[in-house]
Each structure stands twice: as structure tokens, then as C-alpha cells.
């Protein structure tokens, strides 16, 4: 069942759980996510990153994700992750994405607001939901120290102004996570998540969620996170399964035999996340 991002995330916000938003790059990943969602009866978001669109092309990603969504027994949204380019965002909308992210978080506040509002006005006119980002979520190369922390984390006052002026549907907040594998253990600012939730009363999004310990994820959800982005942990599962299979079966050359076990391993990791996020059993008809 193909639905909008807003339908999925408003339900999560109203019922106090989080939906997994998993990055898709090929058919096996799409199938692993959908099978995990159906088995655990979880609503789910399939999202395409910049790298994913470059690798597979917007049409392939869109059609694969839409076929999966339409045939699924659970609610599925198709989302653009970290959109920065106006033309690309329009192409995603035209190809049937039901949600887009405009990430202008590197720009100054007023410019981020203006850029986001322009996308919101267009997307909403055609029934597509919008995610934006406020604050700076680190990359693996970004070593966020405690001193720098407050300068880059999302400010609740700014968040209130941002949402009021843009009309965005859900907001990605910087609260201590970073994209890619962690060197140490990430320390999340749970009070900030709670404050932002109280001030905005709308769905909040956590990026860079791979490798965040289960306890921290559960606490983040209890304080107000409703969309949890996972990419790296899927890549890790894929990589491990393919390497193991090839090492144990050096003579096998059939791609289906190599990728099949990887699809199974990704599915297990994804199903665990769905349970951890509180999404299992939350799918509606």
C-alpha cells in the first residue's frame, strides 16, 4: 500500500513509536525491507540517497520502490533522502515519490527557511510530504566535540520558527548522531529531543542511526523521535553475507546464489530494527 510520508509519520507521532526509513540502492535491498516490514507488520519508508540515485537512476529506484509498495500488505512511503537540488526534487515528485527531503541545513537559517518553503509549497500542492533539516548532523569525518556541540545541535527556538514559517511536515534534528560507522559510542541529547517534541508537537527525524545502541534508540523514541534513518547497518549486513558466502563457496558464480543469502541477512537486521523502534504490529489496513 503506497501512502505519503505524512500519513505514516503522523500515525507514528500520535501513537508514540518510530518508523524505519531504510536506504535502497538495488532490488535485493528493496525486497529485504518489504519482507521484513510484512513479517513484523510494520509501516515503513523506502528512501533513496544521492548516491543511490546516482547508482541506479531515479526511474529505476522509483519504479522498484513503487511496485514493492503497491504490492505490500503494509503502508509504505517512497522518500528522497537529503535532497539539495531543485531539479532532482521535482524529478522525484514527477516519478511518484510520496515524500521528499530538502536539506538546506548547511545554509544560514533564513536561507534554509526560504529554500525549504519553496519546496513545501510545490510538494504540498501535489500531495507530497516534506522533510527538512535544521542543525548540522555530523558525517563520519566530523569529530563533534562537547564544546562544539551546542553550536551544531538543533536549537528549539529556531526549530519553532522554522516549522511555523515553512510548513514542513517533519523535521530532521541534530542531537548527537552522525552518518556512517561510529568510532566511539554516540551520546544523544535526549532532553533536546524531548524539548523539541514539546515545542513542535510534530514528527521528529533521527539521521545517522546505524550503530546507535538499542537502549539509546529506545530512549530517543520515548522522547519523541518518529523516523529513524538506517543505511550503514544494511550495508554491513550485505557486505558480511557476500564475503562469507564467496569465501565458503569460491566456485559459485551465479549472482542469485551470492545475493540471495545477503538479502536474507539484510532482512534479519531490518526486522530487528523495526521491533526496536516500536513499529512492529503498527501497520494499518
> Active-site residue 142, yes or no?
no
Give the dihedral of Cα atoms 106, 110, 114, 120; nearest 10 deg: 70
Q: Which residues contact 164 (CB under 8 A, 6 or more apart)?
A: none
Interaction with ligand 13P in 188-227: which residues (CB under 6 A)? 207-210
81, 169, 189, 233: the active-site residue: 81
Considering CB distances under 5 to 8 angstroms, the limit depending on partner class, which of ligand 13P, Zn ion, ligand G3H, none binds residue 40? none
| CB nearer to ligand 13P: pick between 43 and 186 | 186
Q: Cβ(96)–Cβ(125) under 8 Å?
A: no
Binding-site member from 14, 15, 16, 51 for ligand G3H (CB under 6 A): 51
99 interface partner picked from ligand G3H, Zn ion, ligand 13P, none, CB below 5 to 8 A per type: none
254 is in an annotated binding site: no
Write down the least CB distance from residue 84 to ligand G3H, Å: 11
Cβ proximity to ligand G3H, 137 vs 280, nearer residue: 137
Q: Which of 11, 79, 117, 207 binds Zn ion (CB under 5 A)?
A: 207
- What residue spans of the chain are helical by DSSP H? 5-15, 27-40, 50-56, 58-71, 86-94, 109-125, 146-152, 156-166, 190-200, 214-223, 232-248, 255-276
CA 44, CA 271: separation in Å to the nearest integer? Answer: 11
Q: Is the dihedral of CA 62, 73, 33, 79 positive or negative?
A: positive
- Asked whether position 230 contacts ligand 13P by CB under 6 A, the answer is yes
Position among 22, 61, 79, 81 found at the interface with ligand G3H (CB under 6 A):
81
Task: In whole angstroms, give the CA distance from residue 152 to residue 267.
Answer: 34
**Single residue of 4, 40, 204, 232 touching ligand 13P by CB under 6 A:** 232
Number of residues that bind ligand G3H (CB under 6 A): 9
Q: Contact 20/230 with Cβ under 8 angstroms?
A: yes
Q: Give me the residue label for grid cell 550485505.
A: 238
Burial profile 11-48: b = 16 or more Cβ within 10 angstroms, e = fewer: bbbeeebbbbbbbbbbebbbbbbbbbbbebebbbbbbb
To ligand 13P, the closest distance from the beta carbon of 192 in angstroms equals 18
Asked if residue 124 belongs to a known ligand binding site, the reply is no
**For binding to ligand 13P (CB under 6 A), which residues are involved?**
23, 81-82, 179-180, 207-210, 229-232
List, as residue ranges, the binding site for dihydroxyacetone phosphate: 180, 208-210, 229-232
List, as residue ranges, the binding site: 82, 103, 133, 179-180, 207-210, 229-232
Amino acid at each position: 500500500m503506497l501512502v505519503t510520508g505524512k500519513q505514516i509519520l503522523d500515525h507514528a507521532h500520535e501513537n508514540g513509536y518510530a518508523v524505519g526509513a531504510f536506504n535502497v540502492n538495488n532490488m535485493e535491498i528493496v525486497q529485504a525491507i518489504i519482507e521484513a516490514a510484512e513479517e513484523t507488520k510494520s509501516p515503513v519508508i523506502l528512501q533513496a540517497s544521492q548516491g543511490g540515485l546516482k547508482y541506479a537512476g531515479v526511474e529505476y529506484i522509483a519504479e522498484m520502490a513503487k511496485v514493492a509498495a503497491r504490492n505490500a500488505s503494509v503502508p509504505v512511503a517512497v522518500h528522497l533522502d537529503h535532497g539539495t537540488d531543485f531539479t532532482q526534487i521535482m524529478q522525484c515528485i514527477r516519478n511518484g515519490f510520496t515524500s521528499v527531503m530538502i536539506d538546506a541545513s548547511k545554509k544560514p537559517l533564513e536561507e534554509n527557511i526560504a529554500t525549504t518553503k519553496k519546496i513545501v509549497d510545490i510538494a504540498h500542492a501535489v500531495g507530497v510530504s516534506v522533510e527538512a533539516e535544521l542543525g548540522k548532523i555530523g558525517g563520519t569525518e566530523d569529530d563533534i566535540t562537547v564544546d562544539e556541540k551546542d553550536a551544531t545541535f538543533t536549537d528549539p527556538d529556531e526549530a519553532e520558527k522554522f516549522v511555523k514559517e515553512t510548513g514542513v511536515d517533519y523535521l530532521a534534528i541534530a542531537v548527537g548522531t552522525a552518518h556512517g560507522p561510529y568510532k566511539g559510542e554516540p551520546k544523544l541529547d535526549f532532553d533536546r529531543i524531548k524539548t523539541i517534541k514539546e515545542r513542535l508537537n510534530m514528527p521528529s527525524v533521527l539521521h545517522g542511526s546505524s550503530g546507535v545502541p538499542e537502549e539509546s534508540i529506545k530512549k530517543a523514541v520515548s522522547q519523541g523521535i518518529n523516523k529513524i534513518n538506517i543505511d550503514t547497518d544494511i550495508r554491513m549486513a550485505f557486505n558480511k553475507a557476500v564475503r562469507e558466502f564467496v569465501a565458503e563457496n569460491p566456485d559459485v558464480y551465479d549472482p542469485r546464489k551470492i545475493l540471495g543469502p545477503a538479502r536474507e541477512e539484510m532482512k534479519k537486521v531490518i526486522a530487528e530494527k523495526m521491533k526496536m523502534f516500536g513499529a512492529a504490529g503498527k501497520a494499518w489496513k
